[in-house]
Amino acid sequence: MDADTRAALEGFPEVWRRVCGEPAAEGPAPALESLRGFIADETCAAAFYEACAARFTPYSTRLKQLARDERGHLRALQTEYFLLTGERYIPPKTCPLPRGGLRALRAAYCDELSAVLAYRKAADAANDEALAGIYRKNASDEERHAGILREIIFCAL
C-alpha cells in the first residue's frame, strides 16, 4: 500500500460516520446537559406564564408577552442544540402550574433572577460563541422579565 492510499484511509472512519448521517461530534457533556436544562426551564416558564395569563386577567397581556419571549428563548436554544448535536431535544412536560396567587408571581420573579445568573455563568463558560451570545441575550431578557413581574406585583398589592 502506498503512502497516499494509507493517508486517505486514515481519515476514512470520520468520513464514513458523516456519510452515514451520524450526529455531529457533541460538545462537552456538561455543556450539553446545561443546554438541556435551559431548554426544560424555558419550556416550563412559557407554560407557566400562559397559565398565569389565564388566571391573572388584569395582567394577561404582559404575562402572554412573557410567555412569547420564553418560547422564543426555547426555539433559539433548541436550534443551537440541534446544530451542536444533530438531534432534536424536547424536554418532558413537567411544569407546575401557578398556585397561590401573588406567591406564584413572586416565585417566578425569583426564578427569573436565578436564570439571569445562570445564563451569565453559562455564557462565560461556553465554548461556542453563538451559544454564548444566546445565553447573554437570554440573561438580558430574563432580567427584563423580573422587572415586569416586579411591576405586576407592585400593581396587584
> With pLDDT > 90 as the criterion, what percentage of the chain qualifies?
66
Which positions ≥6 away from 44 have C-beta within 8 Å?
94, 95, 96
The DSSP code for 129 is H
pLDDT in tens, 101-147: 889 999 999 999 999 999 999 999 998 999 999 999 999 999 999 99
For residue 121 the three cell numbers come to 455563568
Query: Buried b / exposed e across 95-111, counting CB within 10 Å, b at 16+?
Result: beebeeeeebbebbbeb
Fold annotation for 29-156 = Ferritin (1.20.1260)
pLDDT score of 125: 93
* Burial class of residue 126 (count of CB atoms within 10 Å of its CB; 0-12, 13-18, 19+): buried
Please enumerate in sequence order all residues whose Cβ is within 8 A of that of 52, keeping only pairs 6 or more positions apart, or say none. Answer: 59, 63, 98, 104, 105, 108
Residue-by-residue DSSP string for 100-112: STHHHHHHHHHHH
Q: 3 versus 131: which is more confidently predicted?
A: 131
How is the chain split into domains, by residue range? Answer: 29-156
The yes-or-no verdict on residue 94 having pLDDT over 80 is no
Of all residues in the chain, the percent with pLDDT exceeding 70 is 81
The whole-number pLDDT of residue 19 equals: 56
On the question of pLDDT at 88 being above 80, the answer is yes
pLDDT beyond 90 at 5: no
DSSP 42-97: HHHHHHHHHHHHHH-GGGHHHHHHHHHHHHHHHHHHHHHHHHHHSS--------PP
pLDDT band at 9; cut points 50, 70, 90: low
pLDDT reading at 74 higher than 90: yes
41-50 per-position pLDDT tens digit: 999 999 999 9
